[in-house]
């Protein structure tokens, strides 16, 4: 039995020119992200960011049913952006996509640029911008944070899938009525977005319950941690 468990765009959906164009977009986007990421990475957040990438890899393996015969899985842009910020978050999602394409034969190699553009750049940016716009609500308490995480994740999923529609319109390898493609892709990803929202909300909620200081979106609202470390920490 070899039902493909491929989760991302495979090679041969987009023509060579368009694939190359989006490899360029991905390289430029990641270079910008890497240069901006430095400012938010330190001895405490660097290990957290590595773990977020590892967690995304694990969670992307879990396809959940959305319709009869159709599944979906986490993309992770909003999750990463809320926990480690947009720049580091985009790098986290990208590293996962690179590992999947090069080691697990999941997601085409020439399609990697488009996959990174959609899930790592568009998804993370969309998730982060929504979360940023609603930060006031997120900082009000756990319910607020979890709700914002859910909404940001739904938007991240739908916009990432729209990225595919745009790429297909620019240079699909086959001709197919664009309206039908857009309706199917965006419709299904609206449903997947609900799953993405639930997973993102649960994860962000759990991290915030234990280590709110590690939630990027909550930065600047925490009381200094030193108040707590003074007790019970062996010298």
Question: How many residues bind to another protein according to rule CB under 8 A?
Answer: 85
Cα four-point dihedral sign 108, 114, 118, 120: positive
Instruction: Closer to another protein by CB, 137 or 191: give it.
Output: 191
Q: Which of 129, 173, 205, 212 binds another protein (CB under 8 A)?
A: 173
The yes or no reply on residue 3 touching another protein (CB under 8 A) is: yes
Q: Which of 27, 32, 62, 143 binds another protein (CB under 8 A)?
A: 62
Instruction: Closer to another protein by CB, 174 or 223: give it.
Output: 174
Instruction: Closer to another protein by CB, 142 or 228: give it.
Output: 228
CA terminus-to-terminus distance, the chain: 57
20-49: contacts with another protein (CB under 8 A): 34, 37-39, 41-49
Taking CB under 8 A as the rule, which mask of x and - marks residues 67-106 in contact with another protein? x-xxxxx--------------x--xx--xx--xx-xxxxx
DSSP string, 39-85: GG--TTHHHHHHHHHHHHHHHHT--EEEETTEEE----HHHHHHHH-
Integer-rounded Cα radius of gyration of the chain: 18
Please give the structure tokens belonging to residue 23: 């490899």
């Amino acid at each position: 039995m070899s039902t493909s468990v491929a989760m991302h765009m495979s090679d041969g959906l987009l023509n060579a020119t368009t694939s190359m164009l989006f490899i360029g977009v991905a390289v430029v986007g990641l270079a910008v992200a890497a240069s901006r990421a430095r400012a938010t990475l330190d001895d405490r957040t660097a290990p957290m960011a590595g773990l977020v990438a590892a967690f995304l890899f694990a969670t992307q393996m879990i396809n959940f049913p959305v319709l009869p015969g159709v599944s979906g899985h986490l993309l992770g842009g909003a999750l990463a952006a809320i926990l480690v910020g947009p720049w580091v978050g985009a790098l986290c999602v990208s590293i996962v996509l690179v590992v999947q394409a090069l080691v697990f034969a999941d997601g085409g190699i020439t399609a990697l640029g488009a996959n990174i553009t959609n899930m790592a750049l568009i998804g993370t940016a969309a998730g982060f911008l929504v979360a940023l716009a609603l930060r006031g609500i997120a900082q009000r308490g756990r319910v607020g944070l979890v709700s914002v995480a859910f909404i940001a994740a739904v938007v991240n999923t739908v916009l990432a899938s729209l990225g595919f529609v745009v790429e297909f319109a620019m240079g699909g390898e086959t001709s197919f009525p664009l309206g039908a493609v857009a309706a199917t892709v965006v419709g299904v990803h609206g449903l997947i977005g609900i799953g993405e929202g639930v997973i993102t909300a649960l994860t962000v909620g759990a991290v915030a319950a234990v280590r709110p200081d590690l939630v990027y979106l909550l930065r600047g609202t925490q009381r200094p941690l030193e108040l707590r470390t003074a007790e019970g920490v062996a010298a």
